[in-house]
Amino acid sequence: MKRNRLGRRPTHRMSGSGMGCPESNTGWRARTGVQIGTGLRVTAYGSLYEENMENLVRWLDEYLFLVVWVAYLLYWQVMAADVKATERREPAASRIARSALFLFAIFLLVYPHIPVSWLYRHFLPEGNVSFFIGATITVAGLLFSVWARHRLGRNWSRSVTIKEDHELIVTGPYALVRHPIYTGLLTGFVGTAIADAQLRGVLAFCLIFIALFAKLRLEERWMRDQFGASYEAYSRRVAALIPYLL
């Protein structure tokens, strides 16, 4: 009797009728076909999953931060409609200078063809890890500032002002830092810089920090003028931007 490729004699199995005849090639092929088909389906599902994940990551990379920041800005625009009347407002020059820094920082982040090559050097390894860590930090920071805006209520204003019947808020996020809106906004830019992983994000954060720190110093002077000893005690008890540190 001839041997097969493995050097073994062909074996005979009992058919469904109980007769001792060799198993048909049709049954073997059918079962093998099922196994191969299952493998192909698993491979196809795996490829489809990887493709879908790649498409998701690509979409997130292109649109996540745009959606988050636009939604954040729209929230502030809507909430700006219900605020107290203003008694005192900072000079127009300081508002214009701060706006210019903000616009330049945003330009750095969104425009991909600035003719300064070092802006696009990476300070972190580029990849999904830094992207999603940065996205998480950004969302957390912006939500923190939204919480502070909600707690501040009608005392809020876009520029440095003193409102009619202005209240000193020291609860909620204001029990953690004196300027939680700025803390959250700066955290949002830190997260965006981490996700982008390029030096332009670091420069954008530095510009925003300069703008907000100048605004913070003016606010501090006006708060001390307005609330006197109450604000002095509050400032000794609570840090300005980073709890227990700064």
pLDDT digits (tens, 9 = 90+) for 93-144: 999 999 999 999 999 988 888 999 999 999 999 888 899 999 999 999 999 9
Interatomic CA distance for residues 237 and 217, integer angstroms: 17
What is residue 179's DSSP assignment? -
Rounded CA-CA distance 175/170 in Å is 5
User: What is the structure's pLDDT at 164?
Assistant: 81
- For residue 20, the model assigns a pLDDT of 45
Structural domains in the chain, sorted by start: 82-237 (1.20.120.1630)
pLDDT for 65 beyond 60: yes
Q: How many CA atoms lie within 13 A of 133 on its CB side?
A: 12
In this prediction, residue 37 has a pLDDT band, given cuts at 50, 70 and 90, of low
1 three-class SS: coil
Distances 225 to 229, 234, 238 between C-alpha atoms, Å: 9, 14, 18
Out of 113-117, 154-158, 172-176, pick the least confident: 154-158
Q: pTM of whole model > 0.85?
A: no
Q: What is the DSSP letter of 96?
A: H
Q: Assign 11 a pLDDT band (cuts: 50, 70, 90).
A: very low
Q: Which two tokens stand for residue 51?
A: 């493709």
Question: Residue 82, by phi and psi: left (phi above 0), alpha (psi -120 to 50) or beta?
Answer: beta
Is residue 161 within 8 A of residue 179, CB to CB? The reply is: no
For residue 90, give the nearest of 228, 205, 222 by alpha carbon.
222
Distance in angstroms (rounded) separating the CA atoms of residues 241 and 9:
82
Q: What is the largest CA-CA distance in the chain?
A: 109
Buried-state track 90-112, b at ≥16 Cβ within 10 A, e below 16: beeeeeeebeebeeebeebbeee
